[in-house]
């Protein structure tokens, strides 16, 4: 088995999930509570990765990261290297690709929290941020857990975007799904089967664990 | 000139919330004094009472007008000023109680006390547990409480920060009828000990009479009348208010004695009998429906009637209302009677006539108001 690729995939999925959580909590809260008229535009953009072929998303990302785009040039002048075919580029692509898998469960969970509880907290002197931490987040734990698990699992399994943006550089951008593809292309079925079985087992365990945990309702944690 | 002489009221609300393509709701009333008083927002459902309360809480933004409380401006639409609920130092009891389901009774009570040290918070929570008789329940979660217990926790949570104004939205409506009647009495004596003004929303007339000192009558988003509760019931400004109040005669009375389930009351200069509903103090509001008051010619007691009350009266006004005639009587206190046109014609009644007002003791409804 290609342990290097497995390690890289796990690391990528972890960083992607953490980035998505940091980005997703405020964005999902905004989507769940805002009454702006153009909110639907943001919702549509967030959901795009669900319907776009990964190659299309990958193509545009590649263009946006390339040396001919202002973003690509700015990145190069800041960090001294280019984004395409690097781990950082892969991380950026994964965050965008898995965005709906984090945002949608979070937004649904936040929207399901009774507005009366939020208002009661405000009237007890708690700010919007503290109300989020003390009431909304604890009551949305199942949605947050779902978002984390889905983002992690989805990143672990991505293929098309990785191929377009990251290429296939061992130790830098070769993820586990690419490794399996390579092994099959090389008619090297035995390691491909082992790696595939590992991915299957891990995915099944993680999802089983998540849904089992979700069944145990009403035992939420508190942030503060 | 008067501005120097009369101190400004504790609460002065004259604000409006407009809904696009919908009604406009106004909060337009005052609370003259600081200290204990209960102002009741009263009206049919959909009349905007809850929205008016939410304007006070700062949960709704006023589109017009201003709200001032104790010298501070809470809201002023003309200046674009809106003080958020966090900065108003009020206690708010929402209709559904909105207890935090993931927190224990103690944690709910102490929720608003984050700025205190753990020790001070514990002390205040203990105080509230004792005040509201919740000591055995402190570790429970809201889902494990009865409606009455939830109501007490929600009230305690609203009182925890020692607010300057208490807002109660239908505080008893989620409870069964017997609990409502029992808790009304408890609630008023509790509010009295707090010595702060309370604004209470209700659509229940008995609740309004028992809990309130001042009455704000609302209909279709508008404040129709505002004033001392007895004054409003005595002199509704227009027929719409009278219809909302829904009972023709409401007067204050005093219990003289209760013997064998029959209460004797002094009302104005008259004395009437009423069935004792139990749980009365000394002071009561007496409610009588116009259709329960019959009128007889002359003042000689007729024989063979079950009506306990026969009051000599004078007709002060006579107003036709559809197929009925509304008689305003003076029998030591103002009393309204509704009779048919036919009966009125047969007896040849006219203004100034001396008559006898007859009503059964069972038709006299008593509401305690101590």
Instruction: Give the nearest partner residue to B98 out of A120, A127, A218, using CB atoms.
Output: A120
Closest CA to B345 of B286, B292, B297: B297
Residue of B nearest to A219 (CA): B102
Is residue B273 over pLDDT 50? Answer: yes
Residue of B nearest to A125 (CA): B86
Closest CA to B152 of B197, B99, B193, B107: B99
How many A/B residue pairs have CB atoms within 8 Å?
63
Average pLDDT, chain B: 89
Q: Do B85 and A135 touch (CB under 8 A)?
A: no
- Provide CB contacts within 8 A for B93, sequence distance 6+: B154, B155, B158, B166, B167, B168, B169, B171
Instruction: Give the nearest partner residue to A135 out of B88, B100, B157, using CB atoms.
Output: B100
- 3 state DSSP class of A33: helix
Is residue B116 over pLDDT 90? Answer: yes
- A62-80 exposure pattern, b = at least 16 Cβ within 10 A, e = fewer: bebbeeeeeebeebeeeee
Is residue A218 over pLDDT 60? Answer: no
- Residue B352 to residue B316: CA distance in whole angstroms: 6
Q: How far is CA B316 from CA A127, B195, B288, B320, in A?
A: 60, 41, 18, 14
For residue B125, the model assigns a pLDDT of 96
For residue A119, the model assigns a pLDDT of 96
pLDDT in tens, B63-92: 999 999 998 999 999 999 999 999 999 999
For residue A68, the model assigns a pLDDT of 87
All residues of chain A having their beta carbon less than 8 Å from the beta carbon of residue B94 are: 116, 119-120
Residue of B nearest to A118 (CA): B98
- Residue A159 to residue A53: CA distance in whole angstroms: 11
Q: How many CB atoms lie within 10 A of CB A201?
A: 10
ipTM over 0.90: no
Q: Which helix (H) or strand (E) segment is B180 a member of?
A: helix B177-194
Instruction: Give the nearest partner residue to A124 out of B96, B111, B143, using CB atoms.
Output: B111
- Residue B318 to residue A79: CA distance in whole angstroms: 94
Closest CA to B362 of B272, B281, B284: B272
For residue B53, the model assigns a pLDDT of 96
pLDDT band at B7 (very low <50, low <70, confident <90, very high): confident
The alpha-carbon gap from B313 to the nearest alpha carbon of chain A, in Å, equals 53
Q: How distant is the alpha carbon of residue B220 from its chain centre?
A: 18
Is residue A117 over pLDDT 50? Answer: yes
Instruction: Give the nearest partner residue to A123 out of B92, B99, B114, using CB atoms.
Output: B92
The alpha-carbon gap from A222 to the nearest alpha carbon of chain B, in Å, equals 9
- Residue A193 to residue B244: CA distance in whole angstroms: 79
Q: Which residue has the tokens 């007729």?
A: B302
pLDDT band at B46 (very low <50, low <70, confident <90, very high): confident
* Window B:143-182, CB contacts with A under 8 Å: 143, 157-158, 160-161
A220 touches chain B (CB under 8 A): yes
Return the CA Rg of chain B.
24
Averaged pLDDT for residues B200-221: 92
Q: Which of A94-103, A145-154, B6-15 has the lowest mean pLDDT?
A: B6-15
Q: Which of A12-16, A81-85, A179-183, B91-95 has the lowest mean pLDDT?
A: A81-85
Query: Do residues A72 and A64 make contact, with C-beta atoms less than 8 angstroms apart?
Result: yes
All residues of chain B having their beta carbon less than 8 Å from the beta carbon of residue A121 are: 100, 111
All residues of chain B having their beta carbon less than 8 Å from the beta carbon of residue A222 are: 102-103
Is residue B178 over pLDDT 90? Answer: no
pLDDT band at A224 (very low <50, low <70, confident <90, very high): very low
The alpha-carbon gap from B105 to the nearest alpha carbon of chain A, in Å, equals 15
For residue A114, the model assigns a pLDDT of 95
Which is more confidently placed, A210 or B106? B106
- 3 state DSSP class of B294: strand
The alpha-carbon gap from B87 to the nearest alpha carbon of chain A, in Å, equals 7
Q: How distant is the alpha carbon of residue B19 from its chain centre?
A: 27
* Window A:1-30, CB contacts with B under 8 Å: none
A127 touches chain B (CB under 8 A): yes
- Residue B46 to residue B23: CA distance in whole angstroms: 10
Residue of B nearest to A117 (CA): B98
All residues of chain A having their beta carbon less than 8 Å from the beta carbon of residue B86 are: 122-123, 125-127
Q: Please tell us whether the domain made up of A3-215 is placed in CATH 1.10.240.10.
A: no
For residue B301, the model assigns a pLDDT of 58
pLDDT in tens, B90-108: 999 999 999 999 999 999 9
Top residue of A35, A118, A124 to mutate, by most chain B CBs within 10 Å, is A124
- Residue ranges and CATH numbers for the domains of chain B are 2-246 (3.40.50.300), 250-368 (2.40.50.100)
Structure tokens at B184: 């009304």
pLDDT band at A105 (very low <50, low <70, confident <90, very high): very high
Averaged pLDDT for residues A148-167: 90
For residue A127, the model assigns a pLDDT of 95
**Phi and psi at residue B76, to the nearest 5°:** -150, 100
Q: Do A222 and B59 touch (CB under 8 A)?
A: no
- 3 state DSSP class of B128: helix
Averaged pLDDT for residues B2-10: 67
């Amino acid at each position: 088995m290609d342990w290097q690729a497995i390690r890289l995939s796990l690391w990528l999925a972890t960083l992607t999930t953490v980035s998505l959580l940091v980005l997703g909590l405020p964005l999902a809260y905004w989507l769940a509570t805002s009454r702006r008229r153009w909110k639907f535009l943001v919702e549509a953009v967030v959901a795009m990765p669900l319907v776009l072929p990964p190659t299309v998303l990958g193509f545009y990302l590649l263009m946006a990261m390339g040396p001919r785009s202002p973003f690509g040039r700015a990145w190069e002048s800041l960090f001294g290297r280019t984004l395409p075919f690097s781990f950082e580029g892969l991380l950026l692509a994964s965050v965008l690709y898995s965005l709906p898998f984090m945002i949608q469960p979070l937004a649904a969970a936040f929207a399901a929290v009774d507005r009366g509880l939020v208002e009661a907290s405000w009237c007890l002197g708690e700010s919007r941020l503290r109300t989020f931490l003390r009431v909304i987040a604890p009551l949305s734990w199942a949605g947050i857990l779902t978002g984390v698990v889905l983002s992690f699992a989805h990143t672990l399994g991505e293929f098309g975007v990785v191929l377009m943006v990251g290429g296939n550089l061992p130790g830098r951008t070769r993820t586990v799904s690419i490794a399996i593809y390579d092994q099959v292309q090389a008619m090297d079925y035995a390691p491909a089967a082992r790696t595939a079985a590992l991915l299957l087992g891990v995915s099944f365990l993680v999802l089983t664990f998540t849904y089992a945990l979700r069944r145990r309702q009403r035992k939420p944690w508190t942030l503060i | 000139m008067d501005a120097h002489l009369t101190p400004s009221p504790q609460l002065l609300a004259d604000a409006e919330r407009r809904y696009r393509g919908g009604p406009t709701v106004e909060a337009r009333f005052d609370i003259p004094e600081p200290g204990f008083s209960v102002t009741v927002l009263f009206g049919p459902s959909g009349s905007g009472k809850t929205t008016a309360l939410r304007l006070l809480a700062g949960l709704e933004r006023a589109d017009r007008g201003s709200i001032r409380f104790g010298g501070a401006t809470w809201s002023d639409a003309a200046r674009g000023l809106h003080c958020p609920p966090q900065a108003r130092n009020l206690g708010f009891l929402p209709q559904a109680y909105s207890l935090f389901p993931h927190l224990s009774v103690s944690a709910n009570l102490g929720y608003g006390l984050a700025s205190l040290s753990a020790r001070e918070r514990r002390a205040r929570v203990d105080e509230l547990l004792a005040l509201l008789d919740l000591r055995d329940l402190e570790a429970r979660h809201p889902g494990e409480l009865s409606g009455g217990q939830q109501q007490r926790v929600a009230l305690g949570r609203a009182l925890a920060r020692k607010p300057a104004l208490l807002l109660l939205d239908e505080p008893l409506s989620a409870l069964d009828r017997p609990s409502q009647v029992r808790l009304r009495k408890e609630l008023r004596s509790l509010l009295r000990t707090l010595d702060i003004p309370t604004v209470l929303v209700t659509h229940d007339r008995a609740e309004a009479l028992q809990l309130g000192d001042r009455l704000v009558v609302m209909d279709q988003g508008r404040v129709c009348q505002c004033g001392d509760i007895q004054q409003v019931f005595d002199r509704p400004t227009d027929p719409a208010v009278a219809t909302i109040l829904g009972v023709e005669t409401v007067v204050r009375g005093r219990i003289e004695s209760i013997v064998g389930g029959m209460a004797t009351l002094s009302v104005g200069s008259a004395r009437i009998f009423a069935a004792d509903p139990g749980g009365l103090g000394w002071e009561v509001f007496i409610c009588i429906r116009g259709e329960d008051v019959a009128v007889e010619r002359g003042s000689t007691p007729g024989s063979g009637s079950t009506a306990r009350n026969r009051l000599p009266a004078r007709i002060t006004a006579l107003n036709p209302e559809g197929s009925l005639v509304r008689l305003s009587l003076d029998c030591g206190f103002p009393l309204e009677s509704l009779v048919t046109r036919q009966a009125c014609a047969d007896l040849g009644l006219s203004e100034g006539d001396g008559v006898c007002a007859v009503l059964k003791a069972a038709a006299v409804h008593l509401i305690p108001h101590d």
